[in-house]
Structure 1
């Protein structure tokens, strides 16, 4: 894979500026949308020449099968899904997939159709972004040879631009610079697979072409919650299994694969998504990270298709990626965006390499010390979306980074080699350095059994499934002693991705829930046990020791700071920070709290650590922005005793359906900010929320890291175990004076 970087200017930047103007005009009757993401640059051809930083290419190949693979393509694969993996204890995995005897184009040479499954949701109803993208399609498709066939729905309101109705499900064709309403019906749930089947069946019957693509347009949530959340139907979405079933339903109606299936949505560049798409398309276009609200540049995409009707699909993908990044840069985001182009013919080789590497992960997981090291390493690698209690959990981690952090030698090298072959173009912002193009699921935080059961139906590796299941077992039981999931996941002849009965698997997780609104104090049932403390040593350092037999359950330790509300007696939580020192070899944990906290215009604000990389950290702060609850993302870099703190913008996080908001929205001058604090009673039970004093954003950097006002506060160590569970030590009083000194007074 090749790395390339430079600054994109000139014509493409002019076009992206026009894109923004068109979108803003389209949404003049709605709220102004200013969404952001990090961006990159340049216009290099896909090649094997090396240049520089964050634009990666490989020679791909779109080969029909993987080198050295025992997998097979089998047109006789039956059932509602198009692929099947079978595990053998002696032979490893074998893969069978539907495949036609010969692929035959379905239209005349030079014709191109892109089907767009446009679930508008709040992206349209609040910001008019779907209508803006339709306008781009009209601007770009100037001949009859390029068609965008669109189904609209899933939004409570649509911009007036094209007369799209929120009460109807409508089908449009954009071609020759015009848009035409072809048919409409009563509103249907865009999160249902039969609705997708009906649209595609109608589409390929009436608008088949020599080259066809399919785009899912909406929010995405990754491998678990899928894509296309219909706000008219309780944000129901299409899971990967449902998409596979829908595409398999129309398989026999097609004589050719889709040239590409793309996701103009967040978090969908996952190995599970790519694996599901192998029988259905040649390439996948998608993002590992969240996308900005503006999404893809359809004027550039359509223009490339018009000018290059015979171009390789990977070249089209490069245009999608480069124009997307240029759009991001034009709105001044900086660093957060990703987009990758994946050759799906290479996925079988990758799946086999991942399973071989995951075998090593599973082997070491039976050793408590090695399992602890592996999980601690996973917590340090590149993750996407959010994985914290405040914003919610997307539970998506970079595949290549995770394997490199947990597996050594030849097996890890083979995964990276297979990734480089599969991901033929990969572009990412400076803040997403190390992104390898495909992510995978890891259970940082899980509520209930549904999430894990869903992953069991799409996981690409029996060994990795066993590793994940072992973590879930540990979360339930405080250790992995007695785990026997291998009998299920690694049973000889175990079948994956099929119509099999998963009820036994689901019952294993029926009571699994490691997230709650209440604090859980450390006690006899905690997986991490305290031997000594928390107490003060002779030098005044606040510390505790973990017992020798539970050190391997310890993942990390944070600290949490509170103030007692004088009127209610409740504890007002200021947040969670990483001001601690942990020695994993001895189990010694020491406080490193400076007595400083974060303020906006002399008002304390809640701050929760999101990620830390060296001297740089990202935090999230629950706030109301102009009356609406959201989260303020804040970056801090420390240089000695100096701190550089920047408000990145607001992000709504992940809702209860697993729907991830699109990227961070920059603050605007005049925005009204009200901090929101969690409150607890003395037993650690969640009591509610309390609002701080409001302030108005002036456009300047308003956030400071300063000494707490002199007074009495409460402190707790926050202990995170390797299974995703959290426990709090009892509240300890500390006092700050006018000089910023901190004095702990733990109970005897």
Structure 2
């Protein structure tokens, strides 16, 4: 793929770069990977002042509020936040192009089109009282021309020294922003967003001082790079954003108090007020500000890093790079990773760094460059310092994301036209990385029926094993604890997410940790964690459902998903039975003591598709099944909470006798009682699941 990043360099850097032969990247072994050249320090030179200009306003704030979806109520709320803080006759002009949906919020006249407002002060936090400038009818907020409309109106009608553009809605990072339900769920691709901004700023000879995205997952390096020529600073979140979004009242209060503040200061206000709003009420919140004047130089460094990573992959170091990737902090369901944390994980591998000094040099340069790029960063303490300001595309290579990976490296679909892909070598590196991903394992591989005996584990140590389930089946993971206290976890091989566990207090709850469930064939990661110096045996077996006979009572016991109130007996251990029934009606019943345990009952086909279930909160679960011809079923007993035993039986179903006149049969009586007592009774009767 042709890379055109040379055209972006400053003249001084271009001169330095032309002295470097790209043949220095030739690679024949550890020692021949030539260290990256010493890169000059980058300084952004301010343009000479042309003399003071007379502006009507210090700041023009352009809000692009796409509430044409399930965020309609929040859009109305943020409009009111802007009004509360706006000061009349100030040096700040605020416009809002807002599109509403139907069916989510019926306040303020319940109009559903797209309107442009000039925000005016109003102390009523429920009623929009701003000046209506234009009622456009229905517009598609997922279309570039609509964003141009807002920008053009602002540029043509208001004279301001500094301009802030704020895009508000759902966000998907590099996937796009501003989904519009009324327009077929259309959205602004990143390329469309750039095109709209480029067209308007070029037409009016203006640039933007600040661009912010009040939308989820938008602070990606690929997104920020797309804005490099059109704004000085960019504010967005690496993670999701709560529905309430930014604290607009606090932001505008600060701006109105000092209308002369520059763009970097205002970007910091966005970050600080976000922290003040959310830090004490939720956990998964981040917001950061980037100085876009450094992003071209940062792209150059990333290009060198990607070339060096490609070289070490070609030298057989997939395991080392894969380990750094898996240890990096991820967002958006394993779709993107914190870029700096990935670099930190690479540098933490001292063996890799000492073997490849060129990689170490460029990784260190990238690590240092973040301090210039990220000028403000808030991350909740729950991230343990790993949400460091900006993410990069690097999803787990699963079936969920394979098409996204293919489109990213191929510059296709929603990724078409994104400058980062054309100018930086990251996509080529990823193409090779994913092609090698499954060729090696970074953990010991354990096979079915392979017994590990007398294994030792230390306090606070995790031991990992890779297991490849040969087919869809019931698997039993058995950890026999010889001494000490150990927990057992089954993780998704690609995302590292925990999908099953056994967390007994050993030996109080027992001396065996077990996981039993029906799992799809494929790769899994097993984690064995030591709470103290311990010893264990471990084996994985494939199990068959227990054969069940009609009218034959069977019993079972286990811990449960939630365990007891004191967090004892926590495990995923489900029981499976198989029965063949002739034509007729049958009743499947489990009984248990609901004061100490809660089991749920499932009826499955032989390929484990759910046919029916019962999930009561009482001492019994029942399923009645009508069989038209001889059929084999799987019965699953799922342990939900507590710890205890159950009895299971399948019998021929006998319909209840009609009740005496004047009485309501049992089931109908329950429904009638619900109708009489109202909604609170319905809630009481339901099982409460988190």
Q: Is the shorter-chain TM-score for this pair beyond 0.5, marking a shared fold?
A: yes
Counterpart residue number, 1:381: 328
* Change in 2 beyond 3 A, CA 1:578/1:529: closer
Q: Secondary structure at the match of 1:175?
A: coil
* Contact in 1 for aligned 2:604/2:612 (Cα 8 Å): no
Specify which of 140, 143, 149 is matched with residue 88 of structure 2. Answer: 143
| d(CA) in 2 for partners of 1:135, 1:613 | 52
Alignment of 1:47-58 (within 5 A): none
Say yes or no: does 1:693 pair with 2:628.
no
* Contact in 1 for aligned 2:319/2:442 (Cα 8 Å): no
**How many angstroms does 1:354 deviate by?**
1.4
**How many angstroms does 1:361 deviate by?**
1.2
* Contact in 1 for aligned 2:95/2:117 (Cα 8 Å): yes
**How many angstroms does 1:302 deviate by?**
1.0
Q: Secondary structure at the match of 1:111?
A: strand
* Contact in 1 for aligned 2:177/2:215 (Cα 8 Å): yes
Specify which of 248, 253, 262 is matched with residue 298 of structure 1. Answer: 248
* Change in 2 beyond 3 A, CA 1:422/1:377: same
Specify which of 170, 177, 195 is matched with residue 227 of structure 1. Answer: 177
Say yes or no: does 1:153 pair with 2:119.
no
* Contact in 1 for aligned 2:339/2:391 (Cα 8 Å): yes
Q: Secondary structure at the match of 1:535?
A: coil
* Contact in 2 for aligned 1:558/1:579 (Cα 8 Å): no
- Tell which has more relative contact order, 1 or 2 (C-alpha 8 A, sep 6+): 1
| d(CA) in 2 for partners of 1:133, 1:372 | 48
Alignment of 1:387-536 (within 5 A): 387=334, 395-406=335-346, 408=353, 409-432=360-383, 433-444=385-396, 445=398, 446-448=401-403, 449-450=406-407, 452=409, 453=412, 454-455=414-415, 457-458=417-418, 459=420, 462-473=424-435, 533-536=447-450
Say yes or no: does 1:316 pair with 2:266.
yes
Say yes or no: does 1:328 pair with 2:278.
yes
* Change in 2 beyond 3 A, CA 1:269/1:451: same
Say yes or no: does 1:70 pair with 2:32.
no
| d(CA) in 2 for partners of 1:347, 1:435 | 19
* Change in 2 beyond 3 A, CA 1:416/1:163: farther
* Contact in 2 for aligned 1:152/1:171 (Cα 8 Å): yes
**How many angstroms does 1:260 deviate by?**
0.3
**How many angstroms does 1:410 deviate by?**
2.1
**Larger proportion of helix:** 2
* Contact in 2 for aligned 1:260/1:282 (Cα 8 Å): yes
Say yes or no: does 1:289 pair with 2:239.
yes
Alignment of 1:168-317 (within 5 A): 168-177=113-122, 179-223=130-174, 225-317=175-267
| d(CA) in 1 for partners of 2:50, 2:613 | 62
Specify which of 280, 305, 309 is matched with residue 357 of structure 1. Answer: 305
Q: Deviations for 1:223-247, whole angstroms, at most 9, x for unmatched residues?
A: 1x11111122332211111111111
| d(CA) in 1 for partners of 2:100, 2:518 | 35
**How many angstroms does 1:377 deviate by?**
2.0
* Change in 2 beyond 3 A, CA 1:595/1:406: closer
**How many angstroms does 1:450 deviate by?**
3.9
Q: Deviations for 1:372-425, whole angstroms, at most 9, x for unmatched residues?
A: 2212321221111213xxxxxxx1110111122235422122112211101111
| d(CA) in 2 for partners of 1:611, 1:530 | 10
Counterpart residue number, 1:537: 451
Counterpart residue number, 1:130: 75
- Bigger Rg over Cα: 2
Q: Deviations for 1:583-640, whole angstroms, at most 9, x for unmatched residues?
A: 9xxxxxxx9974979xxxxxx9999999999999xxxxxxxxxxxxxxxxxx999xx9
For structure 1, which runs of at least 5 residues remain unmatched after alignment?
1-63, 73-86, 388-394, 481-526, 542-553, 565-570, 572-576, 584-590, 598-603, 617-634, 646-673, 697-702, 713-748
| d(CA) in 1 for partners of 2:600, 2:68 | 27
**How many angstroms does 1:161 deviate by?**
4.2
* Change in 2 beyond 3 A, CA 1:346/1:611: farther
Say yes or no: does 1:347 pair with 2:326.
no
Give the paired residue count. Answer: 480
Q: Deviations for 1:421-478, whole angstroms, at most 9, x for unmatched residues?
A: 0111111001122212010101314143445534474336643211212245457xx6
**How many angstroms does 1:291 deviate by?**
0.8
* Contact in 2 for aligned 1:215/1:261 (Cα 8 Å): yes
Q: Secondary structure at the match of 1:220?
A: coil
* Contact in 1 for aligned 2:473/2:519 (Cα 8 Å): no
* Contact in 2 for aligned 1:169/1:184 (Cα 8 Å): yes
Q: Deviations for 1:311-339, whole angstroms, at most 9, x for unmatched residues?
A: 12121112111111222135x21x31101
**How many angstroms does 1:217 deviate by?**
0.3
| d(CA) in 2 for partners of 1:285, 1:291 | 13
Counterpart residue number, 1:17: none
* Change in 2 beyond 3 A, CA 1:121/1:69: farther
Say yes or no: does 1:165 pair with 2:79.
no
* Change in 2 beyond 3 A, CA 1:293/1:531: closer
**How many angstroms does 1:677 deviate by?**
11
| d(CA) in 2 for partners of 1:562, 1:192 | 45
Q: Secondary structure at the match of 1:269?
A: coil
| d(CA) in 1 for partners of 2:239, 2:491 | 31
Q: Deviations for 1:336-387, whole angstroms, at most 9, x for unmatched residues?
A: 110101111011221111111122211122244x112212321221111213
**How many angstroms does 1:267 deviate by?**
0.5
* Change in 2 beyond 3 A, CA 1:464/1:406: farther
* Contact in 1 for aligned 2:170/2:179 (Cα 8 Å): yes
| d(CA) in 2 for partners of 1:203, 1:582 | 50
Cα RMSD, aligned residues only:
5.2
Counterpart residue number, 1:5: none
* Contact in 1 for aligned 2:488/2:526 (Cα 8 Å): no
| d(CA) in 1 for partners of 2:228, 2:336 | 21
Q: Could you tell which deviates more after superposition, 450-459 or 425-434?
A: 450-459
* Contact in 1 for aligned 2:504/2:568 (Cα 8 Å): no
* Change in 2 beyond 3 A, CA 1:462/1:350: closer
* Contact in 1 for aligned 2:446/2:466 (Cα 8 Å): no
User: Under a length normalisation based on structure 2, what TM-score does the superposition of the two structures give?
Assistant: 0.59
User: Under a length normalisation based on structure 1, what TM-score does the superposition of the two structures give?
Assistant: 0.54
Q: Secondary structure at the match of 1:182?
A: strand
* Contact in 2 for aligned 1:157/1:165 (Cα 8 Å): no
**How many angstroms does 1:190 deviate by?**
0.9
* Change in 2 beyond 3 A, CA 1:695/1:122: farther
Q: Could you tell which deviates more after superposition, 445-454 or 271-280?
A: 445-454
Q: Secondary structure at the match of 1:201?
A: helix
* Contact in 1 for aligned 2:57/2:159 (Cα 8 Å): no
